[in-house]
Amino acid sequence: DTAVSQTPKYLVTQMGNDKSIKCEQNLGHDTMYWYKQDSKKFLKIMFSYNNKELIINETVPNRFSPKSPDKAHLNLHINSLELGDSAVYFCASSQDKGAIYEQYFGPGTRLTVT
Amino acid sequence: QKEVEQDPGPLSVPEGAIVSLNCTYSNSAFQYFMWYRQYSRKGPELLMYTYSSGNKEDGRFTAQVDKSSKYISLFIRDSQPSDSATYLCAMNQGSNYKLTFGKGTLLTVNP
């Protein structure tokens, strides 16, 4: 029974396209996150939602738009994809925004932009 | 100077060795310190976290935090081939809602 799941696992697309990645957690957590891990394995926070409210919005291009329809789901939509967007995107969740030290990560979505 | 520095390795040890993984940091406001393990093509998995200075032990793993030196360590005793992974340190100030990660150390334990 997967705690944090992401779809799709792999995404190959061309420059200029628009794509979405979906994340779901069944842990009953209030807070969810999107991270980007580049080719050098550096993991950086992009967004965080707590009970559907945006609480972290790092310096990410406007082409990236998160959406949280309910507290169990956090989706990431990317417009006009660029080569530099190629990376692994991880979703994570924690019990609440105060329990940031105990995050559970999904398996990742490997995005390749050609 | 980066907020969190971590030697990327790679680090290769024989099975049964004691492994020491380290991170240094510059932000004295960090209060929570975490270690994650990431197997190839998988998501990071939380190993343990500590608050402020001190030691914490969980089985073969021991985390140490020295806030005066801005230095944290993860020790793995009796290392196993299944410990082969990238180990990421992460830190949080406690007053905001984001983690700052090190770049990870790639560890290989040879049978």
DSSP secondary structure code for residue B79 in this structure: -
**Residues in A touching B105 (Cβ below 8 Å):** none
Distance CA B38, CA A108 (A): 11
Distance CA A53, CA B62 (A): 36
List residues bridging with B72 in a β-sheet: B23, B65
Q: With CB atoms and an 8 Å threshold, state whether A104 touches B34.
A: no
| Region B77-95 average pLDDT | 94
Q: With CB atoms and an 8 Å threshold, state whether B86 touches A42.
A: no
pLDDT of residue B1: 65
For residues A54 and B1, which has the higher predicted lDDT (pLDDT)? A54
Per-residue pLDDT for B6 more than 90? yes
Q: With CB atoms and an 8 Å threshold, state whether A105 touches B103.
A: no
Q: With CB atoms and an 8 Å threshold, state whether A103 touches B46.
A: yes
pLDDT tens, residue by residue, A42-53: 899 999 999 989
Three-state SS at A84 = helix
Per-residue pLDDT for A60 more than 80? yes
Q: How confident is the model at residue B52 (pLDDT cuts 50, 70, 90)?
A: confident
Q: How confident is the model at residue B97 (pLDDT cuts 50, 70, 90)?
A: confident
Q: Is A25 exposed, middle or buried (0-12, 13-18, 19+ CB in 10 A)?
A: buried
pLDDT of residue A100: 85
pLDDT of residue A1: 63
**Residues in A touching B97 (Cβ below 8 Å):** 31, 48, 50, 55-56, 97, 100
Q: Is B31 exposed, middle or buried (0-12, 13-18, 19+ CB in 10 A)?
A: middle
Mean pLDDT (chain B, rounded) = 94
Which stretches of chain A are assigned E, i.e. beta strand? Answer: 4-7, 10-13, 19-25, 31-37, 43-50, 53-57, 64-70, 73-78, 87-94, 104-105, 109-113
pLDDT of residue B95: 78
- Give the count of Cβ contacts less than 8 A between chain A and B: 57
Asked if A103 is an interface residue toward chain B (Cβ–Cβ < 8 A), one would say yes
Per-residue pLDDT for A98 more than 90? no
A73-78 sheet: strands from edge to edge = A4-7, A19-25, A73-78, A64-70
Residue with tokens 């030697």: B7
pLDDT of residue A81: 97
| Region A13-26 average pLDDT | 97
Q: How far from the centroid of its chain's Cα atoms is residue A111's Cα? A: 12
**Residues in B touching A48 (Cβ below 8 Å):** 97-98
A contact residues 77-96, partner B, Cβ 8 Å cutoff: 90, 92
Q: Scanning every residue of chain B, which has its alpha carbon at the shortest distance from the alpha carbon of A90?
A: B43
Residue with tokens 């390795």: B9
Rounded to the nearest 5 percent, the helix, strand and coil shares of chain B are 5, 55, 40
Residue with tokens 């935090």: B65
Q: How far is B32 from chain A (nearest CA, A)?
A: 7
**Residues in B touching A110 (Cβ below 8 Å):** 41
| Test the A interface: residue of B6, B40, B99 with most A CBs within 10 Å | B99
Cis ω for the linkage preceding B10 (within 30 of 0)? yes
pLDDT of residue B35: 97
Asked if A108 is an interface residue toward chain B (Cβ–Cβ < 8 A), one would say yes
Planar angle of CA B10, B16, B18, nearest 5 degrees: 60
Residue B81 phi/psi, 5° resolution? -55, -30
Most confident of the ranges A10-14, A36-40, B47-51: A10-14
Distance CA A34, CA B20 (A): 30
